[in-house]
Amino acid sequence: MDTDTGETAAAAASPGRVMGKDGMAALVDILAGRGYTVVGPTARDGAIVLAELESADQLPYGWGVEAEAGRYRLRERPDGAAFANAAGPQSWKTFLHPPRVRQWSADRVGEETVFSADLTRPPRWAFLGVRSCDLRAIAVQDRVLVGGAHRDAVYEGRRSGAFVVAVECTEPAGTCFCVSMGTGPAAGPGYDLVLTEVVDDDGHRFWIRSGSAEGDEILAELPARPADRATREAARAGVAAAAERMGRTMPETDLRQLMAGTLDAPRWDDVAGRCLTCGNCTMVCPTCFCTTTEDVTDLTGDHAERWRVWDSCFDLDFSYLHGGPVRASTRSRYRQWMTHKLGTWYDQFGSSGCVGCGRCIVWCPVGIDITEEAAALHDWSRSRPSEEGA
Ligand code: SF4
Ligand code: SF4
């Protein structure tokens, strides 16, 4: 990535095309015409949510957001931009790694019990508006859920046919810190198409480039013109300016080492005094993947089902082994979550488990901020007398 312009190598190599709102409308229609179920952001119930789109008119044109620790509000934007609204409460894992999946059902037929697998085929998703942090989060979940010896068939079935339209961020929220995690605001690899939205005196338009063979085909079908230099430069400048306006930053240190070296820090007691162990942070996090199973029966006892549902390491039952939970205290559960995200995730999966989207900060009911906690641990580790000198 060019650190001055925020431009990826792929984007720099592809001059791309420029389209207006009519092109966005055509993009949704073309994707639907190819059999995709198009999902993208829309303004609903006071938030930018991800939902199935029947037309591009449902995109959140003219809506921005104000996001802070424990606070999220929509606000109108006079420029009419569609994607200047940062990450909302949902991420794409809602579609790729759903909150509830029926694994099998069983019916009593006479003296027999007949088991049936759930063979419902998932839609072919087209994700419109995948931000750079979320593009990286999908790559993280790819590694976790299908990148090893044990492949998650549910995820694989949903992920394998998905078409991804990324969007580069030009308007970070106050809780974003993708720059310090190296995940944005320019889009990295993994997209079929990538958009950068520009609204200036020359009008409202989208610079669109391809990252795959199917992306090439769709790009050629769009009502778009070759990208002009002014639009490309305005787009690059918008992304570069976004990189300068991150609301949050992680301490500039090796976070993996920081987590490993601060397990006994008093800060864990401090955050435990504030954390409600509600698990919101894990539900909204685009990389958290833990699940549990629930068995249910109907009232006759003739029909039973097993469901896989999202679970949270903040739940006492999550680490319950015979006789009690392994992590009984709030301190141990918050520390487990944060040290896994920023530290031991590297050991397991070769990357950070945090992509800097800021969702856990926004949707924490008491405004606990992972960057603030990391900074406090960093301060403590620097002020701690060295073991040599002790
Ligand atoms: S830990 Fe928080 S900021 Fe990091 S990816 Fe998860 S929700 Fe986003
Ligand atoms: S850090 Fe916040 S969101 Fe996460 S469990 Fe604690 S109170 Fe809930």
Cβ of residue 69 lying under 6 Å from some atom of ligand 2: no
Nearest CA to ligand 2 atom 3: 364
Residue 7 parent element (H or E): none
Q: What average pLDDT does the structure give for the chain? A: 94
Pocket test for ligand 2, best of 333, 366, 370, 372 (most atoms within 8 A of CB): 366
pLDDT at 6: 43
Higher-confidence residue of 282 and 316: namely 282
Confidence of residue 373 (pLDDT cuts 50, 70, 90): very high
Average pLDDT over residues 9-37: 88
Give the Cα-Cα-Cα angle 350, 353, 354 (nearest 5 degrees). Answer: 135
Distance CA 249, CA 253 (A): 11
Nearest CA to ligand 2 atom 2: 364
Average pLDDT over residues 48-69: 97
pLDDT at 377: 98
Give yes or no for a contact between 88 and 48, defined as CB atoms under 8 angstroms apart.
Answer: yes
277 has pLDDT over 90: yes
Nearest CA to ligand 1 atom 4: 354
The helix/strand/coil state of 147 is: coil
Nearest CA to ligand 2 atom 6: 275
Spacing, Cα 74 to ligand 2 middle (Å): 22
- Give per-residue pLDDT as tens, 172-192: 999 999 999 999 999 999 999
pLDDT at 2: 40
pTM for this predicted structure: 0.93
Nearest CA to ligand 1 atom 8: 357
Q: What distances in angstroms separate CA 364 from CA 68, 72, 180, 327, 344, one per listed residue? A: 10, 11, 21, 21, 23
Q: 152: closest CA among 91, 101, 90?
A: 101
Average pLDDT over residues 224-252: 97
**Residue 34, CB half-sphere, CA atoms under 13 Å: how many?**
18
Provide the terminal-to-terminal Cα distance of the chain, rounded to the nearest Å.
Answer: 44
Pocket test for ligand 2, best of 334, 337, 368 (most atoms within 8 A of CB): 368
Residue 49 parent element (H or E): strand 47-52
- Give per-residue pLDDT as tens, 143-174: 999 999 999 999 999 999 999 999 999 999 99
Q: What percent of the chain has pLDDT over 70?
A: 95
Cis check: omega of the bond before 185, within 30 degrees of 0: yes
Distance CA 197, CA 205 (A): 6
Strands, sheet with 303-310, edge to edge from the N-terminal-most edge strand: 112-117, 100-109, 303-310, 291-297
Q: What distances in angstroms separate CA 297 from CA 108, 116, 138, one per listed residue? A: 11, 14, 34
390 has pLDDT over 50: no
- Give per-residue pLDDT as tens, 291-347: 999 999 999 999 999 999 999 999 998 888 888 988 999 999 999 999 999 999 999
Cβ of residue 366 lying under 6 Å from some atom of ligand 2: yes
CA 322 to chain centre: 34
Paired strand residues for 210 = 193
pLDDT at 387: 57
Atom of ligand 2 nearest to the CA of 330: 6
